[in-house]
Structure formats: C-alpha cells, structure tokens
Amino acid sequence: MTKYSSRYASSPEAVKKYDTQQLREEFLIDDLMQEDEVVLVYSHYDRYIAGSAVPVKGDLILETIDPLKAPYFLERRELGIINVGGSGSVVVEGTTYELGFKDALYIGAGNKEVIFKSDDSSNPAKFYLNSAPAHTAYPTKKVSLAEANKLQLGTMETANHRTVNQMIIGSVVTTCQLQMGMTELKPGSVWNTMPAHVHDRRMEVYFYLDIPQDQAVCHFMGQPQETRHIWMNNHQAVISPPWSIHSGSGTSNYTFIWGMAGENLDYGDMDVCKITDLR
C-alpha cells in the first residue's frame, strides 16, 4: 500500500508569521516508518520526495503517485535508499541488492520495478527513501556504510564532534542531482551542522535516527536572522527550504541522514552563517 501527501513551497516572509502548529504542518514529516506501507511526501522544493517503506507481512512495491503523471515511479526520477532497520533487500528489475543496517542503495532513472523485502518480519527492514527528478539514467549501485567517504568534523569542546558518511555523492556514486549521506555524532556531542549554513542552490531534508527513548532533537530552521525551531523525535524528517538554515541540537547524541538536490552537485557549496550573527 502507498500513501502520499504534498507540501507546497513557502516564502521566508510567510514562515516568519507561522505558529508552532503551522510550522510543523509545513515542514515536519512525522508519519514515516509505518508497517506494510510505502509513505511518500512530495515537496514542491526542487520536486523532492522523502518517504519510507517497511515490509513486514509481505513485500512492498514502489508504485507511481499521481503528482508524477508517470506510468512508473522512476520514469523521470532517481532514488536513494538507506536501511535504518533490520536486514532486508531491494529488488531492482530482477536484481537483488542486500542491505544491512545503514547500508545505502542508489537506483537510476528508467527502472520500472522496485520491490522492498525484509529478511525477518520480527525485525523488519526500514527503508528511508529520497528521490529527485533525473534527466539521465545512471547505473544502480549499493554503498555499504564501510564504503562511504568519511569526514571527521567538529570537536568535543564545541559539542559537535561527528563523522560525516558521504554515501550517495559524486565521489562515490554518479547521480543527476540527488545526494545523500549519514552523519553520526560522537557520545557527548549534540550539535549538527554548526556553524549553520544556507545554500540557495539546493534544498535539503534531514531524517533523525538513533535518538534514545525519552530524548529528542531540537531542529533549527529559518533565515539566519529569523530562526525558528521544531522539536523532533526518532525516525522523523524535516524539510529545509533553500533559504533556510538546517541545524539541530539533541538532548543526547544521535544520527541523521541528509539528502539534497537542486542546482549543483558541489557538496561544499554553502554560505556559512557566523554563529554570533544568528538571531
């Protein structure tokens, strides 16, 4: 079964006037990882889709949705998948790709059949999905966590010591515009993406995981001089417009998956905001 919803783009001037409920309704994705369902959210920022697939009682098929006006989901799209649950597999046009915990898979445009499977229904795979429009078909490729390009950033002194695992990115996988990776914070560190930044050339979605029970992450968004915040729980995602910062601080260390698409594939293309200039 597939469920989908759409989110329209909001201007920064409009967002300044949002109350807590409206802010959450526009940007928070809080219904992912539903058993035996494919859940998709179609964002009008760069036509990006974030979603999930959790096969328990049986396999799940990636079906097209009405906003795409396409006979199959990947007719004009590419797809990135990271498994955040038990072991499972993704079958792409008859070829099976085994995905363990935190393994990734890139699927290029033009693939008509994508099937999600779990190895054990008592510990199902939980596939986190990101998709963007694609103008060229590139080969499907699995990237394990061990194969990711790893960056060590931050320090314990500034509470942002972290490992950035670049997984679906130009130096590892050839894509049209989709980029995905996973950042793991070290014990004792709580800040991600600080100093914060914006990049008007592309939008981004954060998906938070490994948040301990009874803990939470406060995600910061908005223009650098007009910030807002959204409290988030485990396995929730948040949409970040191109004009918005995207940073968070948790009551514990945690992990988050970042995915983005837009004007270019330059990971370092960002306009950094000086911490003391944030408002």
Q: Is 184 annotated as a binding residue?
A: no
In the chain, which ranges are continuous DSSP H helix?
A: 12-15, 20-27
CA dihedral 236, 55, 98, 50 (to 10 degrees): -30
Between strands 95-99 and 88-92, the pairing is: antiparallel
Q: Is 246 annotated as a binding residue?
A: yes
38 CB-near residues (< 8 Å, 6+ apart) = 1, 2, 3, 51, 52, 53, 60, 61, 62, 63, 116, 129
Hey, is 3 helix, strand or coil?
strand
Q: Is 197 annotated as a binding residue?
A: yes
Q: Which pair of structure tokens corresponds to residue 39? A: 């859940």
Phi, psi angles (nearest 5°) of residue 166 = -85, 115
Q: How far apart are the first and last CA of the chain?
A: 43
Q: How far apart are CA 217 and CA 89, in angstroms?
A: 30
In the DSSP assignment, the letter for residue 223 is E
Q: Is 161 annotated as a binding residue?
A: no
What is the SS3 assignment for 201-215?
Answer: CEEEEEEEECCCCCC
279 CB-near residues (< 8 Å, 6+ apart) = 224, 225, 226, 227
> Measuring CA to CA, which residue among 228, 241, 235, 230 is closest to residue 257?
235
Which amino acids are annotated as binding site, given as ranges?
197, 199, 204, 246
Which amino acids are annotated as binding site for Zn(2+), given as ranges?
197, 199, 204, 246
